[in-house]
Structure 1
């Protein structure tokens, strides 16, 4: 179905797509990680203000209206929470997506839920380790993403302007993910405001998987993976057409469709780096469970080594038990034979003695 030249061009496109995707993911993690690192001063401030758990719980009652977290997220929504909450969350992702009050409140909620016995837990280091572990998967290109490429190439029919319309898929997904993550923070504030009028000490939210789509926080990472890949595909296809066939090629399309695609691609890259990624890093920790990155690297390696050693010892112990049982059966057979021989001999001796006594 394809000529040798077409296959060669397809190989070049696959190479360009891989390079662009890895480059864009690296830029996303670079700029987004830089913003997350700025939260380090908030971590230091929270650590200084929270020395131990009893001291936190011994503070006086404070009205919820006095908490910045409630003021910024819930106060003013009133009875229109259902609609205004989503509307507020949509615009919140473009400015001040994560504030200091958001960070300190979510940090305390995580610590009180998952590591209550360690109030000095370094939440910021945990976020950075989680970010590194998750984005090792995002850089890769999964098989279903390659299927999307094939499907898109098959839909590249003249007059459909598929290149233009496909650019809106990652754009819409990005806005939906950012709005959902912001709305989760608003939901946490809503729950506290509905249950309490005043709280003792710092405000503590309750993490739960119920706030996420289908009760699965991992879906957010999957959607970010799709967003970055589709955006990379759009821009990689543009560069490939430009270098391979020229800007005036009929495959390139009309300029009035090219410029919006490039603008959308740059917008997606910017928002994903500075807003969606930091939101993902902190909001996905508000699930019912924690990730293995909660352990330091050397502790995690030690636990893995201990588990392997315990499994090895268990296997060796089971093998030794089985071999001892087999050895016992093998040793029992000669002993039974010997006892049988002794019993037969004693019976014969007893019968001979009886015959001898009758004769006598």
Structure 2
């Protein structure tokens, strides 16, 4: 189930490659820049819903509905791509954002296909709550659905916030809209929280469907542990809906919107450069450790030659420095 969701997700994201190729071919950065009304820009026009409390509610409602149909448009991709490049690699306007995004997604979902300890805790609780008359399997099927809808709405709202930031600060722009990526748009200021929730949703949904078919093959459809038909059918329908929505909307949204954080990922470099940078960092760390050890040995030798009084003074000085560091 997890692999099928990822395959469908990559198929959806692969269609964005034609947008990337079109941008690379047109290279709009070399053409003349025109001053345009910011509210007439396609990205702003589709996402900006005015100013005030009513606009905030309208923006959230629009974000909720947008995840079901064309969750990412060409204007969304073009604008977020430009915002990422202008923030993290302004010297390389021909940066292949699509390839970087796919590399990050592949790295992230190497963790999703694994099973963490907290997921096993959930499985144990899930089995212990299977009490006759509670219909636990039915009610718990709604948990990943609600979480998935909340995540999709939040990711769409992040795009809306980017549009609001530009629309509220500018009346006119020269050239294209440039959004400002920031971790502040995400829950707790951490885009990684969304990956954790998606991991839980996919695991829970896959486990429940697998558990259903295990009971069906082991005990049969008419067994008491299977439950009533009016609870079984909705569970299966919800499971299929979660799989489709996550594959075609939420995961592609995650792939591009989480790049709107404050930091870029190490996948911005190719594999050869990554290995070189990591090797260089390890060498620097080893040199610092050797240098620190040599300085410590030298200071100890000087203290021994200076006598007990000098050693006491150095110890006092070290204690004062440590106290100042703890205060800061």
TM-score bucket (shorter structure): 0.7 to 0.9
In the alignment, the residues of structure 1 paired with residue 206 and residue 174 of structure 2 have an alpha-carbon distance, to the nearest angstrom, of 49
Residue 70 of structure 1, aligned match among 18, 40, 44: 44
Specify the SS of the correspondent of 1:177: helix
Q: RMSD of the TM alignment (CA)? A: 2.3
1:331-346 equivalence runs, <5 A: none
Choose from 213, 219, 224 the match for 1:250: 224
Mapping 1:209-248, distance limit 5 Å: 209-248=183-222
Matches within 5 A, 1:1-360: 24-50=1-27, 52=29, 55=30, 59-74=33-48, 80-317=54-291
Aligned residues: 306
SS in 1 for 2:95: coil
| Structure 1 residue 318 displacement after superposition | 5.2
Deviation at 1:66, TM superposition (A): 2.8
Question: Quick check: which has more Rg, 1 or 2?
Answer: 1
Q: 1:190 to 1:158 in 2, by over 3 A?
A: same
Q: Which runs of 5+ in 1 are unaligned?
A: 1-23, 331-360
Contact 2:49 2:55 in 1 (8 A): no
Instruction: Give, in whole Å, the separation in 1 of the partners of 2:176 and 2:150.
Output: 31
* Conserved? CA contact 2:49–2:59, under 8 Å: no
Q: Per-residue deviation at 1:91?
A: 0.9
CA distance in structure 1 between the partners assigned to 2:261 and 2:187 by the alignment: 11
- More displaced stretch, 108-117 vs 260-269: 108-117
Return the offset for 1:160: 0.6
**Would you say the 8 A contact 1:77–1:85 is kept in 2?**
no
For 1:219 and 1:292, how far apart are their aligned partners in 2? 18
**TM-score normalised by length of structure 2:** 0.87
Q: Please say if residues 86 and 179 of structure 1, whose CA atoms lie closer than 8 Å, have aligned partners that are also in contact.
A: yes
Shift of 1:34: 1.3
Q: Secondary structure at the match of 1:206?
A: coil
TM-score, length-scaled by structure 1: 0.79
Return the offset for 1:75: 5.2
**Residues 249-288 of structure 1, C-alpha deviations (whole Å, 9 max, x = no match):** 1000011110100000001000100000000000011111
- Residue equivalent to 1:5: none
The answer for the alignment partner of 2:308 in structure 1 is none
